[in-house]
Amino acid sequence: MCMALVASTRSRSTWQRVTRSPPSIVLAFVWIAIMVVIAVTANHLAPYDTAATDLGARLRPPVFMSGGDWNHILGTDQLGRDTFSRLVLSVRASMTIAIISTFIAAAIGIVLGFVAAHSRGRLEQIILMLIDAQAAIPFMIVALAVLAFFGNSLVLFTVLLGFYGWERIARLCRGLALSASEQGYTIAVRDIGASPVRVYAMHILPNVASSLIVAMTLNLPEVILLETSLSFLGLGVQPPLSSLGNMVGAARDYMERAPWLVLAPSAVIMFTALAISIIGDWFRDLTDPAGESAR
């Protein structure tokens, strides 16, 4: 009865905090929802084939500028390709790469964090050394070296980005696991003979999941910006595929004649990274026990 009352009180408190969220949170969720819908339905939303060129229609302005028309809402690029169609497919590519890479980083961080928390010996020291080494080396330099040496492919690029940020998740996961190991529910499960894998996967992980989700949410916009930077340099997503980063990179020579080619993908990058960061901060405050008690 008491546990049910506590759970009901917490749920009511959480719901009240959700409904009192500022407009920026609502706008962030709306923007992310739009990006998800675009990513899922990109093939149906794109009115033109992004590989089809029309040099006679090159560098046409968007509809809201003088000379624009509704045939090309966001204008055309230097090869006459429809900018809106390329933008839609670029959103899908960039979001897919960022989400998959973030889950790879989370998987690496969670596994190594739990192993470090459980081993408490030489293996833990090795993992901590790897975490410190990863944090000390600029990831952009490592990424440039790997892509220049091994060449580039979509799979390699996605997996490479999956190694960004895992050390922060591993350090957080280790600390949460050490704290959870001293809790009564963990001790009770261990005393009845549960294996370490079951203890960590079935009991500790669900109880620390909210903190890990926050860490993943805060890591996601950084991966988006990293993918954009590498694609801008020509080392990310390669033609004929398109991403937000290589759209900006391909249009940098036309910034004065056709600024919309840079502004459209840049605006999507900025608002997407900002929206994810706002949601991450909000979710962190929502799941913070200290913040809840202060309220």
pLDDT tens-digit map of 177-188: 888 877 777 778
The C-alpha atoms of residue 229 and residue 231 are separated, in whole angstroms, by 6
Question: Could you tell me if residue 54 is inside a domain?
Answer: no
Q: How many domains does the chain have?
A: 1
Which of 4 and 281 is assigned the larger pLDDT? 281
Tell me: cis bond preceding 196? Omega within 30 of 0 counts.
no
Question: What CATH number is given to the structural domain containing 207?
Answer: 1.10.3720.10
Reported as a single tens digit per residue, the pLDDT across 60-93 is 888 888 777 788 888 888 888 888 889 999 999 8
Question: Could you tell me if residue 88 is inside a domain?
Answer: yes
Helices (H), 65-152: 83-119, 122-136, 139-150
The C-alpha atoms of residue 62 and residue 75 are separated, in whole angstroms, by 4
Question: Could you tell me if residue 3 is inside a domain?
Answer: no
Question: Could you tell me if residue 12 is inside a domain?
Answer: no
Reported as a single tens digit per residue, the pLDDT across 200-236 is 888 888 888 888 888 888 888 888 888 888 888 878 7
Question: Could you tell me if residue 108 is inside a domain?
Answer: yes
Question: Could you tell me if residue 51 is inside a domain?
Answer: no
Contacts of 232 (CB under 8 A, 6+ apart): 245, 246, 248, 249, 252
Question: Could you tell me if residue 41 is inside a domain?
Answer: no
Which residue range is the domain that position 154 belongs to?
59-294
Q: Is the Cβ–Cβ distance between 94 and 244 less than 8 Å?
A: yes
Question: Could you tell me if residue 9 is inside a domain?
Answer: no
Q: Is the Cβ–Cβ distance between 264 and 243 less than 8 Å?
A: no
Q: What's this model's pTM, rounded to 2 decimal places?
A: 0.82
